[in-house]
Amino acid sequence: MSDIYALHENITKSFMAWIEVANVSHNELTLQVKGEFIRDMCLALRDQADLAFNMLIDVCGVDYLHYGLGEWQTESTTGTGFGRGVEGHEFTTATTMTPTQPRFAVVYHLLSLTHNQRIRLRVYLPESQEPPAIHSVTDIWPAANWFEREAFDLFGIHFVGHPDLRRILTDYGFAGHPFRKDFPLSGKVEVRYDAQQGRVIYEPVSIAPRVLEPKVIRHDHRYEIPPGTGA
């Protein structure tokens, strides 16, 4: 049995109550963890000698709003490309998937320097909670500090217990969270210098929204989970 499948078996056997789904795909192990157990899961992965995931590589947010929905009814690309500047229209579900997961998720990537193994954790956040929130892991891995601030800034995800949760990439007074799927691509305000007033002023954006390229969700062999690897 390869190391990744041995790791899968070990973790699912030890922490079955904390895990909703565990699968191996393309030699990568992903655990879907129940939100209330994320800190317990992280501490166990870090502190158990046979696991020793002592390095946090990344923490990021995901917004699944409109996942599987597109303004072009297509599941493939073309040889000639799509026309630019197409007028937008209502979303369609004719050729796409029906979303089944909550809108927001937080994803953690961990590395064990001792065993040279990687693992991915995904936690879906409750749909009824606004703003979406999850416990911080900054006291477990200090590297989470800026990662969590980035997810807070771009997705509006709150990390409970974070020592200094504030924006890190957007400007002071920025309204909204630019990586949310309902945030307009052109933004909400534009900035210009007004010579008469002698200062920089903010105005509502004057760019008309339009569709620039199709969103294609592929279902070919590259994205399939091999039989018998799910749990």
pTM: 0.75
Model confidence at 16: pLDDT above 60: yes
Tell me what pLDDT residue 203 has: 82
In this structure, is residue 66 part of a structural domain? Answer: yes
The residue ranking higher by pLDDT, 112 or 194, is 112
Closest CA relative to residue 58, chosen from 134, 137, 125, 144? 144
Q: What is the pLDDT of residue 77?
A: 53
Tokens representing residue 104 in the block: 């927001």
Q: What pLDDT shows up at residue 127? A: 77
Q: What is the pLDDT of residues 23-77, one digit of tens each?
A: 998 888 999 999 999 999 999 999 999 999 999 999 999 999 877 665 555 555 5
Q: Give the pLDDT confidence score for residue 11 in this predicted structure.
A: 94
**Per-residue pLDDT at 103:** 92
Strand order in the sheet with 55-63: 19-25, 28-33, 117-124, 104-112, 55-63
- Asked if residue 200 is part of any domain, the answer here is yes
Q: Which whole number is the average pLDDT over 150-169?
A: 95
Percent helix, strand and coil across the chain, each to the nearest 5: 20, 25, 55
Torsion over CA of 66, 179, 146 and 27, rounded to 10 degrees? 40
Q: Is residue 23 part of a domain?
A: yes
Query: What is the pLDDT averaged over residues 194-201?
Result: 87
Query: Across the chain, what does the average pLDDT equal?
Result: 82
Number of domains forming the structure of the chain? 1
Residues 195-206: b if buried by 16+ CB within 10 A, e if exposed: eeeeeeeeeeee
Q: Which of 217, 213, 212, 184 is nearest to 98 (CA)?
A: 217
Residue 228 lies in a domain: no
* Cα–Cα dist 26/13, whole Å: 21
Question: For residue 229, is it within any domain?
Answer: no
> Which residue would you say has higher pLDDT here, 76 or 12?
12
The DSSP output letter for 113 is T
Task: Provide the CATH number for the domain around residue 81.
Answer: 3.30.460.80
> Would you say residue 75 lies in a domain?
yes
Is 140:39 a contact under the CB 8 Å cutoff?
yes
Percent of the chain whose predicted confidence (pLDDT) is above 90: 52
Rounded distance, CA 148 to CA 68, Å? 26
Q: Could you tell me which residue, 82 or 166, shows the higher pLDDT?
A: 166
Task: Supply the pLDDT for residue 1.
Answer: 44
CA dihedral 32, 35, 36, 41 (to 10 degrees): 40
In a domain, 136, yes or no: yes
**Which pLDDT tens digit goes with each residue over 65-108?**
877 665 555 555 555 555 544 444 444 433 333 446 789 999 99
Burial letters 24-53, b for 16+ CB under 10 A, else e: beeeebbbbbebebbbebbebbbeeeebbb
Which domain range does residue 215 map to? 3-223
* Structure tokens belonging to residue 168: 């890190």
